[in-house]
Amino acid sequence: MGLFDRIKHAFSGNKPEEETKTEAKYDKGLEKSRKTFGERMNALFANFRSVDEAFFDDLEETLIGADVGFDMAVRISDELREEVKLRNAKSQQEVAQTIVEKLVDIYDEEGKDEKNTINFAPTGPTVILFVGVNGAGKTTTIGKLAHQYQEDGKKVVLAAGDTFRAAATEQLEVWGQRAGVPVVSGKAQSDPAAVVFDAVKKAKNEDFDVLLVDTAGRLQNKVNLMKELEKIKRVISREIPDAPQEVLLVLDATTGQNALIQAKQFKETTDVTGLVLTKLDGTAKGGIVLAIRNELHLPVKLVGLGEQIDDLQAFDPNEFVYGLFKGLITDEPAKENE
């Protein structure tokens, strides 16, 4: 059963009445994106007369406006031309369902070999390096994740590797106090790699389970920043050969296509293993997840679905698609054309 069919099944009445906590968070967190996507689809079909070239031009504009990305918009439009002919779909409902089904199927297909869970070391400390531009939510993400891991019984330590902003170190220390975990920091403007080295030694010597590393995010000094990140990674892997287990790029979902551009820049210059999308609840640009999967082939590992400490969620592709398209998918069988 494909992802679209599984989602239809979920709408068919067989779904339990009580949503799970995760489902409820995705439902609420994607409310703005779902509403905007629905409005764009309704606007597309407001003057619907027939499936002609003008309709496909409008469809591409609608999808690009919904932040699913140019490449995916063109791909869906091209594939839909064939699908509409194949099904002889003519009514507004049939065409709308076919569009959503294509979006879901392409999304599912692009993520076939994707691993959305965090990689943990089989023995010794797991090191997770966080990268991304300033303001994307790196420090907050680290603090929330530290709290969650601590609650799960893991022994956690943080490294304040963004030594160029005193506020970043102070913010991480506040999160450390809140989560009840130690923070390794250095003096302002000190060598970030030296701070990370101290944190790695502490993690090894004191049997910590997880080390979460914050880094600077000055993308305007891209060459220097990337050299700095490479140096940090070398320091980590010299002490723990298989580390870091993850290099997570933190992106602000509210920036839409700018987040996609940032992801491309970071992917070109460092070995990103996965993405964290923050502030997904505060944006109508949830379609960016579709563009990221289609264009970058990087797994989303974590999503921010609210401001509370437990609103950082492990990314669930099924819950995401369900939350984004809820209300646009029906379980009514397509009418057979005579």
Binding annotation: 132-139, 214-218, 278-281
Tokens of 177: 């106090």
**Residue range 267-309, pLDDT digits in tens:** 887 889 999 999 888 888 888 888 888 888 888 999 998 888 8
- Smallest Cα–Cα separation from 6: which of 335, 334, 329? 329
Query: Percentage helix, strand, coil, to 5, in the chain?
Result: 55, 10, 35
Three-state DSSP state, 157: strand
Full-model pTM:
0.85
Contact between 335 and 88 (Cβ < 8 Å): no
**Residue range 19-45, pLDDT digits in tens:** 577 788 888 888 888 888 888 888 888
* pLDDT score, position 47: 77
- Smallest Cα–Cα separation from 199: which of 230, 163, 227? 163
**Residue range 98-127, pLDDT digits in tens:** 888 888 888 888 778 888 899 999 999 999
* pLDDT score, position 285: 81
**Residue range 83-95, pLDDT digits in tens:** 877 777 777 777 8
* pLDDT score, position 335: 44
Percent of the chain exceeding pLDDT 70 equals 89
Binding annotation for GTP: 132-139, 214-218, 278-281
* pLDDT score, position 165: 80
**What is the dihedral sign for C-alpha 221, 223, 226, 230?**
negative
Which distant-in-sequence residues (6+ apart) come within 8 Å of 135 by Cβ?
Answer: 217, 252
For residues 176-198, average pLDDT: 92
**What is the dihedral sign for C-alpha 4, 101, 325, 248?**
positive
Least confident of 4-8, 165-169, 222-226, 268-272: 4-8
Please name the helix (run of DSSP H) or strand (run of DSSP E) that holds residue 159, with its range, or none: strand 156-160
* pLDDT score, position 219: 58
220 band by pLDDT with thresholds 50, 70 and 90 = low
Q: What is the mean pLDDT of the chain?
A: 84
Query: Rounded to whole angstroms, how far apart are CA atoms 140 and 261?
Result: 22
Tokens of 179: 């989560």
Domains of the chain with bracketed CATH: 24-114 (1.20.120.140), 126-322 (3.40.50.300)
- Smallest Cα–Cα separation from 251: which of 267, 240, 235? 267
Least confident of 196-200, 213-217, 235-239: 213-217
The distance of Cα 37 from the centroid of its chain, to the nearest Å, equals 18
331 band by pLDDT with thresholds 50, 70 and 90 = low
Percent of the chain exceeding pLDDT 90 equals 33
**Residue range 68-85, pLDDT digits in tens:** 888 888 888 888 888 877
**Residue range 51-64, pLDDT digits in tens:** 788 888 888 888 88
Contact between 121 and 237 (Cβ < 8 Å): no
Query: Rounded to whole angstroms, how far apart are CA atoms 159 and 146?
Result: 11
Contact between 84 and 51 (Cβ < 8 Å): yes
Please name the helix (run of DSSP H) or strand (run of DSSP E) that holds residue 158, with its range, or none: strand 156-160
